[in-house]
Structure 1
């Protein structure tokens, strides 16, 4: 007969769809996360090159250009060779890329009579060169020619500024820039005259008064870009950061294997650039390093979803099993009630019928009514006792019993009930008495003996009961030669409403017998265990605390 459908159904397609969806989401998440991470690394390769350029070149250069050089202005043209030596030593110490400093003591005089452009006469009273410790100058003549050119260029800037200087308004916002002269490889600076000096220069430029002159200081700083200390602050992105000329064109490279970029340098370093390169395999290690935490988070989310799915599936499975157990319980319990009720109904109908009954028939129907009523009462008592045990609403009534008499009484009862049932027992000699609840222990004996008879082949209905002592426990061993219990069912047989599916258990069981035994034994602070082999028999071991 086909088993009817229950409310809870296992839908394998739905489970597979859920697993597929979650796994597909995991894969898509990993792929998207990896691509975003790779993109992020490439963007950082492009953006963070500016950090390297700033800390290696731009910041030190700006510090020299905007701060250190400007200190010359504080001397107001009174800088001498000794002070200049001290000042240049600090420059060489703090800025390794400065290779030489030329110091000019400058005289500003009225324009010569032959000058038709009204330019001031800007001349060098003395020129001194300073080098880092351990350096020697090898070409003094070439240096002198260059030095003269630097002075002429600064003189032109000074004259141009003074010619346009508005004595009524004072200096403009572009004043400092007018006293710098920046060219590839060097920076010249003339200390900025005060406003009064600028007015005097303006008047001197126009009056041609001879014999008047003013002192200025000028320095030219020679910068060697190859002495710049390149700081690769992002070694995870760049394997190589080198200084190249602006005109440098790298040889043909495979951009699928190598990624490159560059940053142009400012001011006196404008003829050079920083060149960045890294093999893509190197960047892959950085991608994997950044991707790993993201992947771990994605896997954790995946694991959480799988755990939730498993918990839902387990809950549905438990509900399904419980529903089936309850369904079977109702069916079997109804059958257990229906059979004696039907018999009682038939016997009652015969008793109240119109036909005259003999004394033998009357006694027969009375016996039937009594037996069926006992069955109903036993079933109800078992359910009631089970409920009381679960709710801990009964107490143990300990009585001292004679063990052999107790066991022999149940064996004699079942021999009368089942004449073909072979029952025997053995008790260790030292066991005479035992304090226990006779009702509870009797229920255990009754259920285990009943099961041994019920689940045995007709020609092998045998049970042997052995009672022994082990430490401070008394052991009741029930060994039969029944049909046995499959190994995968051993963990389930003590569950409430659980029934083994076999030819001996189609009807007449509600799955409470062994569950009831376990509750009884546990309530008496003992334990019950089972060993079994299919078609060879089972061995139930009941262990209880021994008190005589």
Structure 2
């Protein structure tokens, strides 16, 4: 046994080492997983701001790319009324536009008062209007050539800017070519901080005429109408769309050179500059580490569950290996004890038979008493060997399903009387009695029934103290089953051992079975009862005794009077 114990200790040490290693790996995996998740979230915090930027500027881009160019559709024929309708539509749908300045411009080759001239081409605003939610009705007319004697540089600022751009374009323009997108943007747009100006794009024949005006090659009394729109923007009205609320706790519009003086290390900040007319501003993203920790935990939870599942699976494997080794060790121990006990069971009768035979052979004269004594010894020990071999053989046949029942009618009273009387003769100190209620005959295999009775009666006698050699056998019928109850006052069976006693080679560690037991008796009973389509139960209290109950199907029985044997 020592080499086997050493092997078991070595295996146990290997399993413990395995569990320690996978536990360390599990802890490291959790730490690395959490760290990588945190780094991923912080990286996302700095990269997905582009999505917020794009979504937030969608409305502004739509305004810049689509609505501003609509001014050219009017071909310069906007007046105060139609300009107001256009302005109201823009102000309503694009909150970022706070105020709109509309200049109704005239172009001619004759002098125009309060205007701009280059060579023989003159540009002058006929009137300038302003529209906005905060513009007072009395202030809508910003300038009128018919009423105002002068045009201040402040009011004419955007007009002058666009007039210079327009003149430069006319001077270098080729009316035979189609205007490119870059030429349109450079000549008819003026983009400044929070301000966009746009001038009506002339047709190709108008470009040719204006070029002739500028060169003094054409005298024409016509006055051409053009429109200049200036849109004043408020970046704070930008519709910020936080498409990643799980990452950004707060998003605001700040001046480009805004610098937060917060020195709080628990706050993470990133930013992204705006473009075009909003280039003096930026999107400012701010989140506390506590806020981001929620997202880290949300992302890490499934990862942690997966890692934990793998860890538990490996622990389960370790447990199954340990359990298998434990079962193997127990089986080895049971087989080892079985071989030892079986050897003892064979050795004792053989030794007794050999001694008795030797005494008979060496005895010159034997009295009848001595001859009968030695003959009885030889018979008893031979019976022990025969019973042991029969039990082993029968158990093997039962396990291999080769044993067939030989059913016949068994008179229970006669059967019990013969069994009880034989034990009374064999053990005079054994207080054994039986009762039969409501049943007389059972159809079953008598040989197997005898084996059941013998095993349970032998156990009741063997596992009882000297002064408590007691057994009561009660046979009765309930519904379609016949019950055989064996109640003793023996040493009892501990509760934690009761679930094992019907296992092959299992022996309760007790002074009563150190010798003379191979752990097959109750296992044999269990197999026999299963073969007979019955069940066997045990109820026991340590030091109080045990009650074994066998339930067999009542295939054939006759009701009769109760029988009591004392």
What TM-score do the two structures reach when normalised by structure 2? 0.85
Q: What is the CA distance between 1:517 and its match in structure 2? A: 0.9
1:35-61 per-residue CA deviation (whole Å, 9 max, x = no partner) reads: 2222223223323333333323x2221
* 1:450 maps onto 2:450 in alignment: no
More deviation, 376-385/141-150: 141-150
207 and 61 in structure 1: CA distance in 2 versus 1, 3 angstrom threshold: same
The answer as to whether partners of 1:112 and 1:208 remain within 8 angstroms in 2 is: no
Range with greater deviation from structure 2 (328-337 or 439-448): 328-337
Is this contact kept in 2: 1:8–1:320, CA < 8 A? no
Paired position in structure 1 for 2:157: 149
**Within-5 A mapping of 1:272-291:** 272-291=281-300
CA 13–35 in structure 1, closer or farther in 2 if over 3 Å, else same: same
Corresponding residue for residue 126 of structure 2: 125
Select 1:482's aligned residue among 487, 490, 501: 490
Provide Cα deviations, 1:96-155, integer angstroms capped at 9, x if missing partner: 2222222333333348799996484222234333335x8526766877754421111011
Q: What is the CA-CA distance between 1:540 and the residue it aligns to? A: 1.7
Other structure's SS at 1:256 match = coil
For 2:91 and 2:140, how far apart are their aligned partners in 1? 20
Closer, same or farther: CA 8–332 of 1 in aligned 2, 3 Å = farther
Q: State yes or no: 1:51 paired with 2:51.
A: yes
Answer whether contact 2:456 2:486 (CA < 8 A) is retained: yes
**Greater shift after overlay, 206-215 or 451-460?**
206-215
Sort the Cα spacing of 1:4 and 1:409 in 2 relative to 1 into closer, same or farther, 3 A: farther
Query: Structure 1 residues 323-332 or 208-217, which shifts more?
Result: 208-217
Instruction: Report the Cα offset of residue 31 of structure 1.
Output: 2.0
Quote the residue 2:22 is aligned against: 22
CA contact (8 A) 2:195 2:233 kept: yes
Structure 1, unaligned runs of 5 or more: none
Describe the superposition over 1:497-525 as per-residue Cα deviations: whole angstroms up to 9, x where unpaired: 11112223223222110011122223223
* 1:412 Cα deviation after fit: 1.5
Q: What is the 5 A alignment of 1:154-173?
A: 154-166=162-174, 170-173=178-181
1:285 to partner: Cα distance:
2.5
Q: How does 1:220-231 map to 2 (within 5 A)?
A: 220-231=230-241
Q: Which residue of 2 aligns with 1:245?
A: 255
Contact 1:119–1:159 (CA under 8 A) maintained in structure 2: no
Counterpart for residue 427 of structure 2: 418
CA spacing shift, 1:423–1:4, aligned 2, 3 Å:
farther
Deviation at 1:408, TM superposition (A): 1.5
Aligned residue number for residue 147 of structure 2: none
Mark the CA change 1:201 to 1:324 in structure 2 (over 3 Å): closer, same or farther. farther
Q: Does 1:72 align with 2:71?
A: yes
TM-score (norm 1): 0.87
- For 2:276 and 2:120, the matched residues in 1 are separated by 28
Q: Count matched residues.
A: 542
| 1:481-502 Cα distance to aligned partner (Å, 9 max, x none) | 3222222211111111111122
Match for residue 184 of structure 1? 193
1:85 Cα offset (Å): 3.5
Unaligned runs of 5+ in 2: 144-150, 559-566
Q: Quick check: 2:37–2:299 contact (8 Å CA) kept in 1?
A: yes
What is the root-mean-square deviation in Å for CA atoms of aligned residues?
3.4
Residue number in structure 2 paired with 1:508: 516
Identify which range, 165-174 or 150-159, moves more after superposition: 165-174
Work out whether residues 118 and 214 of structure 2, in 8 Å CA contact, stay in contact via their aligned partners in 1.
Answer: no
Cα separation, 2, equivalents of 1:135 and 1:505? 110
Tell me, yes or no, if the aligned pair for 1:498 and 1:511 is still in contact at 8 Å. Answer: yes
Alignment pair present for 1:232 and 2:242: yes
1:301 to 303, 307, 310: 310
Q: State the secondary structure of the residue aligned to 1:234.
A: coil
Structure 1 pair 121/359, CA: closer, same or farther in 2 (3 Å)?
farther
2-side partners of 1:3 and 1:540: how far apart? 37
Shift of the 140–192 alpha-carbon distance from structure 1 to 2, 3 Å rule, reads closer
Which residue of 525, 545, 551 maps to 1:543?
551
**In 2, distance between residues paired with 1:167 and 1:277?**
53
CA deviation profile, 1:284-320 (whole Å, cap 9, x unmatched):
2232233223222222222222222222222222222
Q: What corresponds to 2:148 in structure 1?
A: none
